[in-house]
């Protein structure tokens, strides 16, 4: 999959060059290209923002640089995403659907937002990462890219996907590694037993308990 990320702040994306997402790029499962929107501005000072018509606080991103940047990259198989608090809330299903696309173009808004006409012309999928407002679309883009990358074949193991929180509508069971005793706290005996049926049963029960205590809404939704 190829992902183009349009932003005024390409330097803020170093997170995507570490750990699992870095490995996915090195392994060829993922190609991430950062595009500086400012390069596309036809303004002689490369300005990309202006005050809102009708008044109001802050600045808006002007439509021309964003529109031209998208048009320079868009192919028949491209799917455009605009992270926005007004979008659908990100879910595992949305991430899984995005992971099936061949080419994604993310538009990162900043300041108070972007001119509505760009959205009307490009008709992107608007996705929110939660009911709170951030200063720009950069962090939400990284959240969405990280989340969808896990669903691309070969990025993480199928087993990890099956056992994680939300995969079957409940939260994941607690996990332990070495040492067997840490600050006086021992690893639950059953996990050392080698009895896989009992371990699976214990994990299922812990997962149920945790979901009931922390997210009873997930159980009611089922």
As a whole number of angstroms, the distance between CA 19 and CA 126 comes to 27
Closest CB to ligand ADE among 57 and 181?
Answer: 57
**128 lines the binding site for ligand ADE (CB under 6 A):** yes
**134 lines the binding site for ligand ADE (CB under 6 A):** yes
**129 lines the binding site for ligand ADE (CB under 6 A):** yes
**84 lines the binding site for ligand ADE (CB under 6 A):** yes
Residue 121 DSSP SS3: helix
Q: Is 6 exposed, middle or buried (0-12, 13-18, 19+ CB in 10 A)?
A: buried
Binding residues with ligand ADE: total (CB under 6 A):
11
Do the strands 185-186 and 181-182 form a parallel or antiparallel pair, or are they unpaired?
antiparallel
As a whole number of angstroms, the distance between CA 206 and CA 216 comes to 14
Residues 139-178 that bind ligand ADE (CB under 6 A): 140
**58 lines the binding site for ligand ADE (CB under 6 A):** no
Q: Closest approach of Cβ 139 to ligand ADE, in Å?
A: 8
The DSSP annotation for 90-112 comes to P-HHHHHHHHT-SEEEEE--BTT
Exactly one of 24, 83, 98, 150 binds ligand ADE (CB under 6 A); that residue is 83
Exactly one of 4, 40, 137, 147 binds ligand ADE (CB under 6 A); that residue is 137
The DSSP annotation for 142-203 comes to HHHHHHHHTTSTTTS-HHHHHHSTTTTSSPPPP---S-SEETTEEPPGGGGS--HHHHHHHH
Q: Closest approach of Cβ 197 to ligand ADE, in Å?
A: 43
Closest CB to ligand ADE among 37 and 170?
Answer: 37
The interface region with ligand ADE, picked from 58-66, 68-76, 133-141, 204-212 by CB under 6 A, is: 133-141
As a whole number of angstroms, the distance between CA 167 and CA 171 comes to 8
Exactly one of 11, 120, 133, 183 binds ligand ADE (CB under 6 A); that residue is 133
Q: Closest approach of Cβ 165 to ligand ADE, in Å?
A: 20
Contact positions toward ligand ADE, by CB under 6 A? 83-85, 128-130, 132-134, 137, 140
């Amino acid at each position: 999959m190829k992902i183009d990320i349009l932003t005024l702040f390409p330097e803020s994306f170093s997170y995507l060059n570490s750990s699992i997402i870095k490995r996915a790029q090195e392994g060829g499962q993922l190609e991430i290209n950062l595009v500086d929107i400012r390069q596309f501005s036809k303004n002689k000072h490369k300005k990309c923002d202006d005050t809102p018509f009708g008044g109001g606080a802050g600045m808006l991103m002007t439509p021309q640089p964003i529109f031209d940047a998208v048009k320079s990259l868009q192919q028949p198989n491209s799917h455009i995403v605009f992270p926005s608090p007004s979008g659908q809330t990100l879910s595992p299903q949305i991430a899984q659907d995005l992971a099936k696309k061949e080419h994604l173009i993310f538009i990162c808004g900043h300041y108070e937002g972007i001119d509505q006409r760009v959205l009307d012309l490009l008709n992107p999928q608007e996705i929110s990462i939660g009911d709170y407002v951030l200063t720009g679309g950069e962090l939400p883009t990284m959240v969405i890219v990280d989340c969808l990358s896990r669903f691309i074949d070969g990025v993480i193991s199928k087993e990890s996907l099956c056992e994680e929180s939300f995969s079957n509508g409940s939260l994941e069971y607690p996990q332990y590694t070495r040492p067997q005793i840490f600050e006086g706290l021992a690893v639950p005996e059953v996990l050392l037993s080698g009895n896989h049926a009992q371990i699976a049963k214990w994990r299922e029960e812990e997962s149920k308990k945790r979901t009931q205590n922390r997210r009873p809404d997930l159980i009611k939704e089922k």
